[in-house]
Amino acid sequence: MGDGSLTFAIPVRDPRGVDDWSTVKALMAVTLDSLFAQRGPRPRVVIGASPGTDLPDLPDGVQVAEVDLPYRPLPAGEGPERWDAILVDKGLRLAHALAAGRPQGHVMVVDYDDLVSSRLTEVVAANPDAPGWFVDAGFLWDGGPVASVLPTGFNDLCGTSLLIRADLLKIPVDPSDPEHLEWIKSTLGSHKQWHGLFELENLGFPGAVYRIGSGANVSGAIGQGRRVLRAAKRPGELARHLKVLRLWKSVRQDFGV
Protein backbone atom coordinates (compact mmCIF):
# COMPACT_ATOMS: atom_id res chain seq x y z
CA MET A 1 0.00 0.00 0.00
CA GLY A 2 1.06 3.61 -0.48
CA ASP A 3 2.23 6.19 2.04
CA GLY A 4 0.45 9.13 0.38
CA SER A 5 3.54 10.50 -1.38
CA LEU A 6 3.98 11.18 -5.09
CA THR A 7 7.19 10.69 -7.03
CA PHE A 8 7.58 12.06 -10.55
CA ALA A 9 9.95 10.04 -12.75
CA ILE A 10 11.57 11.69 -15.79
CA PRO A 11 13.46 9.65 -18.40
CA VAL A 12 16.01 11.91 -20.12
CA ARG A 13 17.47 11.02 -23.50
CA ASP A 14 21.21 10.95 -24.09
CA PRO A 15 22.24 14.46 -25.22
CA ARG A 16 24.24 12.94 -28.07
CA GLY A 17 20.95 12.05 -29.75
CA VAL A 18 19.46 15.55 -29.44
CA ASP A 19 20.12 18.40 -31.90
CA ASP A 20 19.42 21.31 -29.52
CA TRP A 21 20.22 20.38 -25.95
CA SER A 22 19.98 23.97 -24.69
CA THR A 23 16.29 23.98 -25.62
CA VAL A 24 15.73 20.63 -23.89
CA LYS A 25 17.44 21.97 -20.78
CA ALA A 26 15.33 25.13 -20.74
CA LEU A 27 12.08 23.21 -21.20
CA MET A 28 13.07 20.75 -18.48
CA ALA A 29 13.56 23.63 -16.04
CA VAL A 30 9.96 24.76 -16.69
CA THR A 31 8.74 21.19 -16.21
CA LEU A 32 10.51 21.00 -12.84
CA ASP A 33 8.85 24.27 -11.80
CA SER A 34 5.50 22.70 -12.67
CA LEU A 35 6.21 19.51 -10.72
CA PHE A 36 7.10 21.40 -7.55
CA ALA A 37 4.16 23.81 -7.75
CA GLN A 38 1.87 21.32 -5.99
CA ARG A 39 -0.80 22.60 -3.61
CA GLY A 40 -0.46 19.50 -1.44
CA PRO A 41 2.61 17.75 0.01
CA ARG A 42 5.91 18.39 -1.73
CA PRO A 43 6.64 15.64 -4.29
CA ARG A 44 9.89 13.86 -5.05
CA VAL A 45 11.46 13.76 -8.51
CA VAL A 46 13.79 11.10 -9.88
CA ILE A 47 15.58 11.59 -13.20
CA GLY A 48 17.12 8.78 -15.23
CA ALA A 49 19.94 10.29 -17.31
CA SER A 50 23.24 9.36 -18.91
CA PRO A 51 26.36 10.10 -16.81
CA GLY A 52 27.54 13.69 -17.21
CA THR A 53 24.27 14.96 -18.69
CA ASP A 54 24.06 18.75 -18.45
CA LEU A 55 20.84 19.23 -16.47
CA PRO A 56 19.20 22.49 -15.38
CA ASP A 57 19.58 23.70 -11.80
CA LEU A 58 17.79 21.09 -9.71
CA PRO A 59 15.54 22.04 -6.78
CA ASP A 60 15.72 20.22 -3.47
CA GLY A 61 13.94 16.90 -3.74
CA VAL A 62 15.39 15.87 -7.11
CA GLN A 63 17.44 12.69 -7.33
CA VAL A 64 19.46 11.83 -10.44
CA ALA A 65 20.08 8.18 -11.29
CA GLU A 66 22.91 7.75 -13.77
CA VAL A 67 21.99 5.26 -16.48
CA ASP A 68 25.17 4.18 -18.22
CA LEU A 69 23.90 2.72 -21.49
CA PRO A 70 26.01 2.28 -24.63
CA TYR A 71 25.13 5.15 -26.92
CA ARG A 72 23.34 4.01 -30.06
CA PRO A 73 21.57 6.50 -32.38
CA LEU A 74 17.93 5.68 -32.95
CA PRO A 75 17.32 3.84 -36.24
CA ALA A 76 15.97 6.09 -38.98
CA GLY A 77 12.39 5.93 -40.20
CA GLU A 78 9.27 4.86 -38.36
CA GLY A 79 9.70 1.09 -38.49
CA PRO A 80 9.67 -1.53 -35.72
CA GLU A 81 13.43 -1.27 -35.12
CA ARG A 82 13.15 2.39 -34.17
CA TRP A 83 10.15 1.77 -31.92
CA ASP A 84 11.89 -1.13 -30.19
CA ALA A 85 14.94 1.05 -29.54
CA ILE A 86 12.72 3.76 -28.01
CA LEU A 87 11.02 1.23 -25.72
CA VAL A 88 14.34 -0.15 -24.50
CA ASP A 89 15.95 3.25 -23.92
CA LYS A 90 12.98 4.83 -22.14
CA GLY A 91 12.21 1.69 -20.17
CA LEU A 92 15.75 1.31 -18.85
CA ARG A 93 16.02 4.98 -17.90
CA LEU A 94 12.77 4.77 -15.95
CA ALA A 95 13.67 1.45 -14.33
CA HIS A 96 17.00 2.79 -13.08
CA ALA A 97 15.41 6.02 -11.83
CA LEU A 98 12.70 4.16 -9.91
CA ALA A 99 15.12 1.56 -8.57
CA ALA A 100 17.29 4.38 -7.20
CA GLY A 101 14.39 6.40 -5.82
CA ARG A 102 12.40 3.46 -4.39
CA PRO A 103 9.14 5.44 -4.06
CA GLN A 104 6.80 4.31 -1.31
CA GLY A 105 3.67 6.04 -2.58
CA HIS A 106 2.51 6.68 -6.13
CA VAL A 107 4.56 7.25 -9.28
CA MET A 108 3.88 9.41 -12.32
CA VAL A 109 6.10 9.26 -15.39
CA VAL A 110 6.61 12.74 -16.85
CA ASP A 111 8.16 13.65 -20.20
CA TYR A 112 10.87 16.29 -19.82
CA ASP A 113 8.81 19.08 -21.45
CA ASP A 114 5.27 18.38 -20.21
CA LEU A 115 3.43 20.10 -17.34
CA VAL A 116 1.22 18.65 -14.61
CA SER A 117 -1.73 19.87 -12.58
CA SER A 118 -0.93 21.44 -9.22
CA ARG A 119 -3.64 19.28 -7.62
CA LEU A 120 -1.98 15.88 -8.00
CA THR A 121 -0.30 15.47 -4.61
CA GLU A 122 -3.56 16.45 -2.91
CA VAL A 123 -5.32 13.57 -4.68
CA VAL A 124 -2.61 11.06 -3.81
CA ALA A 125 -2.35 12.16 -0.17
CA ALA A 126 -6.12 11.75 0.24
CA ASN A 127 -6.15 8.30 -1.40
CA PRO A 128 -2.86 6.57 -0.49
CA ASP A 129 -4.11 3.03 -1.10
CA ALA A 130 -5.77 3.63 -4.48
CA PRO A 131 -4.16 1.69 -7.37
CA GLY A 132 -3.94 4.89 -9.40
CA TRP A 133 -5.52 7.24 -11.90
CA PHE A 134 -5.43 8.02 -15.62
CA VAL A 135 -5.61 11.54 -17.04
CA ASP A 136 -8.59 11.46 -19.36
CA ALA A 137 -8.71 15.24 -19.91
CA GLY A 138 -5.76 17.54 -20.55
CA PHE A 139 -4.37 20.24 -22.81
CA LEU A 140 -2.24 20.35 -25.95
CA TRP A 141 0.04 23.38 -26.15
CA ASP A 142 2.66 24.42 -28.68
CA GLY A 143 4.06 27.34 -26.70
CA GLY A 144 1.65 29.87 -28.24
CA PRO A 145 -1.14 32.02 -26.76
CA VAL A 146 -3.81 29.32 -26.91
CA ALA A 147 -4.06 25.72 -25.77
CA SER A 148 -6.40 23.05 -27.05
CA VAL A 149 -8.55 21.12 -24.59
CA LEU A 150 -8.65 17.37 -24.97
CA PRO A 151 -11.80 16.53 -22.95
CA THR A 152 -11.24 12.80 -23.22
CA GLY A 153 -8.61 10.37 -24.46
CA PHE A 154 -5.63 12.45 -23.32
CA ASN A 155 -3.96 9.35 -21.88
CA ASP A 156 -4.06 7.69 -25.31
CA LEU A 157 -2.02 10.55 -26.75
CA CYS A 158 0.40 11.58 -24.01
CA GLY A 159 2.69 9.57 -21.73
CA THR A 160 2.40 12.11 -18.90
CA SER A 161 -0.99 10.74 -17.97
CA LEU A 162 -0.83 7.92 -15.41
CA LEU A 163 -0.37 7.76 -11.65
CA ILE A 164 0.38 4.25 -10.32
CA ARG A 165 0.93 2.98 -6.79
CA ALA A 166 4.63 2.13 -6.77
CA ASP A 167 4.36 -1.34 -5.23
CA LEU A 168 2.17 -2.45 -8.14
CA LEU A 169 4.98 -1.74 -10.61
CA LYS A 170 7.30 -4.30 -8.99
CA ILE A 171 10.44 -2.45 -10.06
CA PRO A 172 13.46 -4.82 -10.15
CA VAL A 173 16.23 -4.13 -7.67
CA ASP A 174 18.82 -4.39 -10.45
CA PRO A 175 17.35 -3.16 -13.76
CA SER A 176 20.62 -3.91 -15.55
CA ASP A 177 20.07 -7.65 -15.15
CA PRO A 178 19.26 -8.90 -18.70
CA GLU A 179 16.50 -11.16 -17.41
CA HIS A 180 14.39 -8.05 -16.70
CA LEU A 181 14.80 -6.42 -20.12
CA GLU A 182 11.65 -7.73 -21.79
CA TRP A 183 9.54 -6.76 -18.79
CA ILE A 184 11.14 -3.30 -18.65
CA LYS A 185 10.60 -2.77 -22.36
CA SER A 186 6.98 -3.90 -22.38
CA THR A 187 5.90 -2.30 -19.10
CA LEU A 188 7.98 0.86 -18.69
CA GLY A 189 8.84 1.51 -22.33
CA SER A 190 5.31 2.62 -23.22
CA HIS A 191 2.57 3.96 -20.96
CA LYS A 192 -0.04 2.33 -23.18
CA GLN A 193 0.72 -1.05 -21.58
CA TRP A 194 -0.37 0.10 -18.13
CA HIS A 195 -4.12 0.20 -18.70
CA GLY A 196 -4.22 -3.54 -19.23
CA LEU A 197 -2.17 -4.19 -16.09
CA PHE A 198 -3.80 -1.93 -13.51
CA GLU A 199 -7.33 -0.89 -12.54
CA LEU A 200 -7.06 2.88 -12.78
CA GLU A 201 -9.69 5.52 -12.05
CA ASN A 202 -10.39 8.61 -14.13
CA LEU A 203 -8.59 11.53 -12.46
CA GLY A 204 -11.67 13.64 -13.12
CA PHE A 205 -10.03 16.94 -14.07
CA PRO A 206 -7.41 18.16 -16.61
CA GLY A 207 -4.25 16.62 -15.19
CA ALA A 208 -1.46 17.52 -17.59
CA VAL A 209 -0.30 19.61 -20.54
CA TYR A 210 1.21 17.84 -23.53
CA ARG A 211 3.72 20.27 -25.00
CA ILE A 212 4.05 19.56 -28.70
CA GLY A 213 6.47 20.79 -31.31
CA SER A 214 9.43 21.26 -28.96
CA GLY A 215 11.74 19.47 -31.38
CA ALA A 216 13.33 16.68 -29.32
CA ASN A 217 10.41 14.30 -28.96
CA VAL A 218 10.55 10.85 -30.49
CA SER A 219 6.95 9.68 -30.10
CA GLY A 220 4.71 9.28 -33.12
CA ALA A 221 1.90 10.85 -31.08
CA ILE A 222 3.51 14.26 -31.65
CA GLY A 223 2.15 14.35 -35.19
CA GLN A 224 -1.35 13.52 -34.01
CA GLY A 225 -1.17 16.22 -31.35
CA ARG A 226 -0.08 18.81 -33.90
CA ARG A 227 -3.02 17.89 -36.14
CA VAL A 228 -5.49 18.34 -33.29
CA LEU A 229 -4.09 21.72 -32.32
CA ARG A 230 -3.85 22.97 -35.91
CA ALA A 231 -7.45 21.97 -36.60
CA ALA A 232 -8.65 23.80 -33.49
CA LYS A 233 -6.92 27.02 -34.60
CA ARG A 234 -7.94 26.94 -38.27
CA PRO A 235 -9.86 30.19 -39.05
CA GLY A 236 -12.58 28.43 -40.99
CA GLU A 237 -13.22 26.05 -38.11
CA LEU A 238 -12.76 28.43 -35.18
CA ALA A 239 -16.44 28.64 -34.25
CA ARG A 240 -16.74 24.87 -34.17
CA HIS A 241 -13.69 24.60 -31.95
CA LEU A 242 -14.31 27.47 -29.53
CA LYS A 243 -15.25 24.99 -26.82
CA VAL A 244 -11.85 23.32 -27.04
CA LEU A 245 -9.65 26.41 -27.10
CA ARG A 246 -8.39 28.25 -24.02
CA LEU A 247 -6.14 31.25 -23.69
CA TRP A 248 -2.93 29.89 -22.23
CA LYS A 249 -2.73 32.70 -19.67
CA SER A 250 -6.09 31.60 -18.28
CA VAL A 251 -4.96 28.04 -17.48
CA ARG A 252 -1.22 28.22 -16.93
CA GLN A 253 -1.47 28.82 -13.16
CA ASP A 254 -3.23 25.47 -12.78
CA PHE A 255 -0.01 23.88 -14.03
CA GLY A 256 2.48 25.86 -11.97
CA VAL A 257 3.92 28.11 -14.68
232-247 pLDDT per residue, tens: 555 554 444 445 788 8
176, burial (CB in 10 Å: exposed 0-12, middle 13-18, buried 19+): middle
What total number of domains does the chain contain? 1
Residue ranges making up the domain that contains 102: 6-255
Taking only the tens place, the pLDDT of each residue in 157-201 is 999 999 999 999 888 888 888 888 888 887 887 777 666 678 899
| CATH code: domain of residue 207 | 3.90.550
Query: Looking at residue 243, what is its pLDDT?
Result: 58
Helix or strand (DSSP H, E) at 211: strand 208-211
DSSP 17-44: G-S-HHHHHHHHHHHHHHHT--SSSPPE
Residue 177 lies in a domain: yes
Query: Looking at residue 188, what is its pLDDT?
Result: 83
Residue 247 lies in a domain: yes
Q: What is the mean pLDDT of the chain?
A: 86
User: What is the share, in percent, of the chain residues with pLDDT greater than 70?
Assistant: 86
Query: Looking at residue 224, what is its pLDDT?
Result: 46
The answer to whether 173 and 185 are in contact (CB under 8 A) is no
Residue numbers in the chain where pLDDT is lower than 70 = 193-196, 214-243
Residue 40 lies in a domain: yes
